[in-house]
Structure 1
Amino acid sequence: MNQLLKRSLLGVLMGGMAGLSATTSLMAQSGKAASDDPALKIYRAAATKVNDLVHTKLDVRFDYPKRYLYGKAWITLKPHFYTTDSLTLDAKGMDIHEVAIVKGGKNTPLRYSYDSLQLHIQLDKDYSAKESYIVYINYTSKPNELKVKGSAAISDAKGLYFINPDGTEPNKPTQIWTQGETESSSVWFPTIDKTNQKCTQELSMTVPKKYVTLSNGKLVSQKNNTDGTRTDTWKMDLPHSPYLFMMAVGDYAIVRDKWKGKEVNYYLEKPYEQYARNIFGNTPEMLTFYSDILGYQYPWVKYSQITGRDYVSGAMENTTATLHGEFLQKTDRELLDNNNYNECVIAHELFHHWFGDLATAESWSNLTVNESFADYSEYLWLEHKYGKDAADEHGYDAAMSYLSMVQYSGDKHLVRFHYHDKEDMFDQITYQKGGRILHMLRNIVGDSAFFKSLNLYLKSNAFKATEAHQLRLAFEEVTGRDMNWFFNQWYFGQGFPELDISYKYNDNKVTVLIRQIQKDAKVWQLPMAIDIYSGGKKERHQVTVTNRVDSFTFAYTTKPDLVNVDADKVILSKKDDHRDFSTYAYQYAHASNYLDRRAAIEAAVEEQGRNPEAVKLLVQALKDKYHGLRTLAVSSLNLKLPAVKAAVVPALAEMAKQDPSTLTKAAAIKQLGDLKDVQYSALFEAATKDKSYGVEAAALEALSDLDLSKAYGIAKQLEKDTKGKLVSAIAGIYARQGNPEDVAFVATKFDETSGQDKLNAAFDYLGFLSKINNTAAVQHGVDQVKAMTEQFRNGQVNTYISNWLQEIARKKDGDATAVTGKDSDSLREQAAYMRKASDTIRTAIKE
């Protein structure tokens, strides 16, 4: 599963709330003290296996008006080890019509009890581990009548979703799709809904002929029925876990591809058919790349990807049939500003087909063996396809996401046997921290041993349930080293080191002093490289930090220009590195890693107001080979400083016109726009015709500060093809222009946005509402956002929205004191409406 929401939320909040004063306080308020939570005292063991699933055969049809599934299930099982005369199946919120044992083609009724969550069946006799048996169940699934709770990563847990089933919602297709993770497959078919169960599968779906279907495995038959329906049968011959079962139904275009003779198909809504290969086209190359580096060929019969409207998560690695949120459907123009994000999602879900689908976490406590690997696969793909700079930037963002979460929510173990709810495992620890830990492990053992260990782990645990200790054992067998120290420290412990680094030079020696200053008593063992640059040469020293205070002394003949601690920049930590700016200038020019250059740029940003050498470094950084660092440098310039302005403005003007990266170009335009200099009007106006929505948005905003009337006219022209940041830019101009007729555009755009993209749009929309004094528009907008919170039911996001509504209400009350009469009354009325909506959202969260 891709953690789209968690990954983007912090950035959305920071950007969307920039105009308000309480970002930190709002985020802090969302945290909940858990020290007294009794659920945290429960040891979350792997599920006990009494019976094992062997095969699941399903025959289903759909009642669109009622949002029901009518199903028949034939489930083949056998006792795991001990003889048993009973069976318990997970079956959530169903009507159970018949339960029988199948023998000789005949059904014999069985006694059972049902509590709306589990089906307890008394078998017809004692069965030993050598005997298999088939249970038949006739049932009705009622997902919309089931009251369930999702999580921050998976915003709903109904299992089966009917999207616009009556066709009454304009601009939204009619679809059906499923979401099994964590334990929601048992909403639409009876099963043992645990990760440590695996079975083969056959699924027959009866649907209107106009729709296509997708499920796991191979489409083995299609039969047209006399009532205008068609029955499609999909068969999965290799075992996988119930949470990975899926089905999807809808009016999709299918764009067909191949890899080594296997089907690789892309299912999209028809308006996006023409963009399919730009969206998914690197999938065959990914299949080759991952198969090669793992030494384990993609094991499944096909690989299809499909999009789903109003999807409740980022994406889901259903075996052979990944389901993506509709955010993945982008036009060529949108992909210009995507910065490989789509590909990271695609890579993440594909890599799960080895780590998660083939070798599966035996319990949610061990989710790291699924999700940490999928997170790290994004790094591996970027490194392969776009170079180490792109991968290291992604890794840096992942580390910052984890460290930011810890600041507000506290830390937890990576392998976690105590949690409030299994959904809590889907966090920045399991994903981003876990990915960074794998990166450290790769650095410690070396590439050859790392990938050979992964190969051994996969071969040893294929089609099985597994845990972190089995990963450790694979690394120990390949490397010949005891790895308990690493796993105990990073997998079965929490926290991260905080390092204070200082240097002492005397007698042709340099001593590097590394102090661990983290507050907890834990002392970390940290293998690392220290590179010493002296006399035009680099000498590497491998050291291991093992104590609270360690020192390492190195001799030299020429005083070093740079001593680079953790030279590979792999250790997940906070560092306070005490050295002169001259070493950073040297570092930028001579240490090639992305993180080396980034640290030098950040040091120059701090020094740009008092050190001419820092300005020179920033000028150099504007020509960095990697667009991400060019963008960082551009965005960090302080043009209020005369020396900086004089040194960089000519370069910025050129970058604003022709930098190959749309992200860098937009950043340059924003910086020039902040100057509010009419000499750049023509440049900004020309850039409003750029293919990139982001560049258009930056140019339009810059132009509006010089000539609001002209920018307003251009905004009206751009309305017909407006997405992403351009919507926000136009909304900002309309807020300033104050034309009541334009409010409809912003409201309509919000309505048109769906899925998790709507979460981002909500923060932009609230920002717009905070700037206007139009009571009817504000109330309508607040109602729209409130309706979104009711749809997504995501406690974390809804808490942020509730808090922000309170903050905007305070701002409007403050604005009301600066005006009189009707304007003041209107602002106070809007504030009151926002507070009421905030209270309603908060009450719903508690429920």
Structure 2
Amino acid sequence: MNQHLKRSLLGVLIGGMAGLGATTSLMAQSGKAATDDPALKIYRAAATKVNDLVHTKLDVRFDYPKRYLYGKAWITLRPHFYATDSLTLDAKGMDIHEVAIVKGGKTTPLHYSYDTLQLHIKLDKNYTATESYVVYINYTSKPNELKVKGSAAITDAKGLYFINPDGKEPNKPTQIWTQGETESSSVWFPTIDKTNQKCTQELSMTVPDKYVTLSNGKLVSQKKNTDGTRTDTWKMDLPHSPYLFMMAVGDYAVVKDKWKGKEVNYYLEKPYEKYAKNIFGNTPEMLSFYSNILGYEYPWVKYSQITGRDYVSGAMENTTATLHGEFLQKTDRELLDNNNYNECVIAHELFHHWFGDLATAESWSNLTVNESFADYSEYLWLEHKYGKDAADEHSYEAAMSYLSMVQYSGDKDLVRFHYHDKEDMFDQITYQKGGRILHMLRNAVGDSAFFKSLNLYLKTNAFKATEAHQLRLAFEEVTGRDMNWFFNQWYFGQGYPELDISYKYNNNKVTVYIQQIQKDAKVWQLPVAIDVYTGSKKERYHVTVANKVDSFTFAYTTKPDLINVDADKVILSKKDDHRDFSTYAYQYAHAPNYLDRRIAIEAAVEEQGRNTEAIKLLVAALKDKYHGLRTLAVSSLNMKLPAVKEAALLVLVEMAKQDPSSLTKAAAIKQLGDLKDAQYTPLFEAATKDRSYGVEAAALEALAELDINKAYGIAKQLEKDSRGKLVSAIAGIYARQGNPDDIAFVAAKFDETTGQDKLNAAFDYLGFLSKINNTNAVQRGVDQVKAMTVQFNNSQVNTYISNWLQEIARKKDNDATAVSGSDREGLQQQAAYMRKAADAIRTAVKE
């Protein structure tokens, strides 16, 4: 499961509110007071196995008008160890028509009881662990009539989704897709819906002949029926968990690829067919790369990827058939500004086919053995394909995401046997922190041991359920080392170290003091590399921090230019490093890692107003080999300072014209735009014809600061091919012009935006509404955003939207004091309407 919504939510919300001028006090309104939650006292053990699934055979057809699935299931089971004469299956919100035992091709009815969530069956006899049996169930699944609760990462839990089944929404395709994680597969077929169950599968779907189908495994037959339908049968010969079962139906284009003779197919909405290879084209290389580094070849019969409209999460690693949210469907132009995000999602779900699908977490408490590996696979792919800087930037952003979450929500154990709800496990601790822990583990044991340990873990636990201790045992067997110290502090504990680092030079010796200043009493054991640089020479020392205060002394003949603590920049921590700026200047020029250079750039940003060396460093960073650091340096320049402007201006102009990264080019244009200097008008006009929407947007906004009428005219020309940041730029210009005819564009763009992008669009839309005085348009826009919150069904999204509406209402009330007559009345009416909507959205959060 890719945590697309959760991962980007905090940044989007903060960024959106900053655009309005809201303060962090607005963010704080969403916090909840800690309570004594009785659910946290429950020990969340792995599910007890009474019966084991062996094989599931399903025959399903769909009633589009009713949003029903009519299903028949033949479930083969076997007692796990102890003999039993009963069977309990998860079956949520169904109508159960028949339950029978199957023997010799004949069915015999069985006694059962059903409480709408579980089906309790009395078997025809006592079965031992050496005997298997087949239960037949005829049922109707009614997902839209089921009352269920989702989470921040998975916003809905009805398992089976009918998208535009009546075809009444003109801009939306008709689709059916499923989402099994966490325990929602049992909405559309009876099963034992637990991660520690695994079985083989056969699924027959009867659908209108015009539609394409996808499920796990191989398509083994297609049969056309006389009523205009077709029955497709998919077969999965290797066992996997019920939450990984999937099916999808729709009018898709199928673009075929291959890897080592296996099918690798991409299912997209037809307008995106021509972009399939732009979006998914690196999948075969990923299959080779991951198979090679793990020493374990991709084990499944095929690999397909499909998109789903109105998907309730980011993406899902259904075995051999990953389902992505429609946000992945992007044109080649959009992908210019994507900064490899799409590829990280694709890599994440593919890696799950080893960690999650092959070796599966035995319980949600151990979810990290699925998700931390998928999270870390993003680092591995970026490192392989785009270099270590790209990977380290991604890792840094993941670490910041975790640290930001802890600031607002508090920390928890990585392996968590106590939680309020299993859905709570899908957070930045399981994902981003877990990925950073794996990075530290890799550094601690070395690459060779790390990947050999993963190979052993996979081979030992293939097609089984597993937990973090089994991962530890694999590392211990390979390395010959006891690894409890690492797992106890990082996997079975919480928090992170906070380090205060200082230096004392005396008699050709330097002593490095590392003090652990975190508030809790926990003392961390941290293997640390310390690099001592003198001139062009570097000497590395390996030490272990193990006490509240540790000191390490190194002799020298010439005073070092830099002492680089945590030289590999892998420790998940906060650091306060007490040293002179001269060491950061040296660090930028000599220390190799992305974070070495980033930390130096950030130090220079603080010093640029009073230190000429800091300005030199920032100008050097404008030519950094990695675009992410060039972008950081560009965005951090204080061009109001004459010395900075003089040193950087010519370089900025060249970057704005020809930097190879669209992100860096857009940042340079923004800096030049902030100067409001008419000499750059031709540069901005030329940039509004760039291939990148982000560059076009930056140029349009810069032009608007110089000549709003010219920018408005260009915006009208760009309307017909506008996506992403360009839509936001056009909306901002239209808001300034105040032409009522332009409101239709902003409203229509919001309507056509889907998935995670709709959340981003909501902030653009509300920003637009905050600046215009048109009561009908404001009320219509507020209604659209309110409807979006219902679709997202996410308490965090709804809380922030509610808070922001209140903030805009206050702004409109203030604006009303400066005008009179109908203008004042309109603004007051708009403010009241926003407050009413905010209250309704907040009430929905409480419910």
Q: Same fold (TM over 0.5)?
A: yes
Q: Amino acid of the residue matched to residue 764 of structure 1?
A: D
Secondary structure at the counterpart of residue 721 of structure 2: coil
User: Hey, what does 2:348 align to over in structure 1?
Assistant: 348
Q: CA deviation at 1:9?
A: 1.1
Counting only pairs closer than 5 Å after superposition, residues 193-342 of structure 1 correspond to structure 2 as 193-342=193-342
State the Cα deviation string for residues 116-147 of structure 1 (Å, max 9, x = none). 11111111111111111111110000111111
User: Hey, what does 1:839 align to over in structure 2?
Assistant: 839
For 2:759 and 2:90, the matched residues in 1 are separated by: 32
Q: Amino acid of the residue matched to residue 774 of structure 2?
A: N
Indicate conservation of the 8 Å contact 2:252/2:268, yes or no: yes
Q: Amino acid of the residue matched to residue 819 of structure 2?
A: V
Deviates more, 1:118-127 or 1:399-408: 118-127
Q: CA deviation at 1:575?
A: 0.4
For 2:722 and 2:488, the matched residues in 1 are separated by: 51
> Quick check: 1:101 aligned with 2:88?
no
Q: Amino acid of the residue matched to residue 394 of structure 1?
A: H
Unaligned runs of 5+ in 2: none
For 1:298 and 1:810, the matched residues in 2 are separated by: 56
For 1:169 and 1:401, the matched residues in 2 are separated by: 37
Q: Amino acid of the residue matched to residue 430 of structure 2?
A: T
Q: Amino acid of the residue matched to residue 8 of structure 2?
A: S
User: Hey, what does 2:526 align to over in structure 1?
Assistant: 526
For 2:101 and 2:817, the matched residues in 1 are separated by: 75
Q: CA deviation at 1:34?
A: 3.8
Give the number of equivalent residue pairs: 847
For 2:757 and 2:138, the matched residues in 1 are separated by: 38
For 1:395 and 1:643, the matched residues in 2 are separated by: 34
Q: Amino acid of the residue matched to residue 655 of structure 2?
A: M
Counting only pairs closer than 5 Å after superposition, residues 683-722 of structure 1 correspond to structure 2 as 683-722=683-722
Unaligned runs of 5+ in 1: none
Indicate conservation of the 8 Å contact 1:316/1:323, yes or no: yes
For 2:366 and 2:220, the matched residues in 1 are separated by: 35
User: Normalization by structure 2: what TM-score?
Assistant: 0.99
Indicate conservation of the 8 Å contact 1:456/1:474, yes or no: yes
Q: CA deviation at 1:8?
A: 1.1
Secondary structure at the counterpart of residue 392 of structure 1: helix
List, as ranges, runs of 4+ consecutive aligned residues in structure 1 with deviation greater than 6 Å. none
Indicate conservation of the 8 Å contact 1:176/1:250, yes or no: yes
Q: CA deviation at 1:21?
A: 4.4
User: Hey, what does 1:793 align to over in structure 2?
Assistant: 793
Indicate conservation of the 8 Å contact 1:619/1:647, yes or no: yes
User: Normalization by structure 1: what TM-score?
Assistant: 0.99
Q: Amino acid of the residue matched to residue 216 of structure 2?
A: N
User: Hey, what does 1:774 align to over in structure 2?
Assistant: 774
Q: CA deviation at 1:28?
A: 2.7
For 2:682 and 2:17, the matched residues in 1 are separated by: 31
For 2:302 and 2:720, the matched residues in 1 are separated by: 39
Indicate conservation of the 8 Å contact 2:499/2:515, yes or no: yes
Q: Amino acid of the residue matched to residue 260 of structure 2?
A: K
> Quick check: 1:76 aligned with 2:76?
yes
User: Hey, what does 1:190 align to over in structure 2?
Assistant: 190
For 2:46 and 2:307, the matched residues in 1 are separated by: 32
Secondary structure at the counterpart of residue 72 of structure 2: strand
For 1:761 and 1:511, the matched residues in 2 are separated by: 53
State the Cα deviation string for residues 241-296 of structure 1 (Å, max 9, x = none). 00000000001111100000100000011111111011100000000000000000
User: Hey, what does 1:143 align to over in structure 2?
Assistant: 143
User: Hey, what does 2:641 align to over in structure 1?
Assistant: 641
Q: Amino acid of the residue matched to residue 765 of structure 1?
A: Y
Counting only pairs closer than 5 Å after superposition, residues 327-726 of structure 1 correspond to structure 2 as 327-726=327-726
Indicate conservation of the 8 Å contact 1:201/1:239, yes or no: yes
Indicate conservation of the 8 Å contact 2:20/2:767, yes or no: no
Secondary structure at the counterpart of residue 195 of structure 1: coil
Indicate conservation of the 8 Å contact 1:102/1:136, yes or no: yes
Q: Amino acid of the residue matched to residue 309 of structure 2?
A: R
Counting only pairs closer than 5 Å after superposition, residues 79-90 of structure 1 correspond to structure 2 as 79-90=79-90
Q: CA deviation at 1:808?
A: 1.3
For 2:723 and 2:753, the matched residues in 1 are separated by: 9
For 1:500 and 1:150, the matched residues in 2 are separated by: 41
Q: Amino acid of the residue matched to residue 640 of structure 1?
A: K
For 1:228 and 1:527, the matched residues in 2 are separated by: 66
What is the percent sequence identity of the aligned residues?
90
For 1:328 and 1:247, the matched residues in 2 are separated by: 19
Secondary structure at the counterpart of residue 540 of structure 1: strand
Q: CA deviation at 1:821?
A: 2.1
Secondary structure at the counterpart of residue 600 of structure 2: helix
For 2:264 and 2:129, the matched residues in 1 are separated by: 39
State the Cα deviation string for residues 36-86 of structure 1 (Å, max 9, x = none). 111111111111111110000000000001110000000001111111111
Q: Amino acid of the residue matched to residue 823 of structure 2?
A: D
> Quick check: 1:14 aligned with 2:39?
no
State the Cα deviation string for residues 525-548 of structure 1 (Å, max 9, x = none). 010100000132000000000000
> Quick check: 1:176 aligned with 2:176?
yes
Deviates more, 1:21-30 or 1:221-230: 21-30
Q: Amino acid of the residue matched to residue 401 of structure 2?
A: S
Indicate conservation of the 8 Å contact 2:500/2:577, yes or no: yes
For 1:565 and 1:116, the matched residues in 2 are separated by: 59
Q: CA deviation at 1:816?
A: 1.7
State the Cα deviation string for residues 356-381 of structure 1 (Å, max 9, x = none). 00000000000000000000000000
For 1:687 and 1:20, the matched residues in 2 are separated by: 26
Q: Amino acid of the residue matched to residue 32 of structure 1?
A: K
Secondary structure at the counterpart of residue 18 of structure 2: coil
Indicate conservation of the 8 Å contact 1:78/1:133, yes or no: yes
For 1:241 and 1:557, the matched residues in 2 are separated by: 62
